[in-house]
Amino acid sequence: MSFNSWSNDSQAHTQICILESQVESKQKAYEILKLENEHLKGEVRRLEELVQTLTKTDINTDIMDRFK
């Protein structure tokens, strides 16, 4: 094995390690984003329900009466 071959192997191994680290980092970021997305979906549902509640009109009640 020549020194040049060893150097190329070493560089290739280093590149592989860097790429694996980047993939792992991106996977962690992806998982965090998935969790945040689920949280935001829950918030959207909660706000949609709140809007529905606030915009429901009762025949005998004016919508502005709710704020008195």
> For 17-57, what is each residue's pLDDT tens digit?
999 999 999 999 999 999 999 999 999 999 999 988 888 76
pLDDT grade for 7, boundaries at 50, 70 and 90: confident
pLDDT above 70: residue 14: yes
With CA atoms as reference, report the closest residue to 65 among 12, 14, 31, 57.
Answer: 57
Q: What is the pLDDT of residue 21?
A: 97
Q: What is the pLDDT of residue 59?
A: 58
3-state SS, the chain, equals: CCHHHHHHHHHHHHHHHHHHHHHHHHHHHHHHHHHHHHHHHHHHHHHHHHHHHHHCCECCECHHHHHC
pLDDT above 90: residue 16: yes
**58 DSSP β-pair partners:** 61
Residue 44 CA to residue 37 CA, distance in Å, equals 10
pLDDT grade for 13, boundaries at 50, 70 and 90: very high
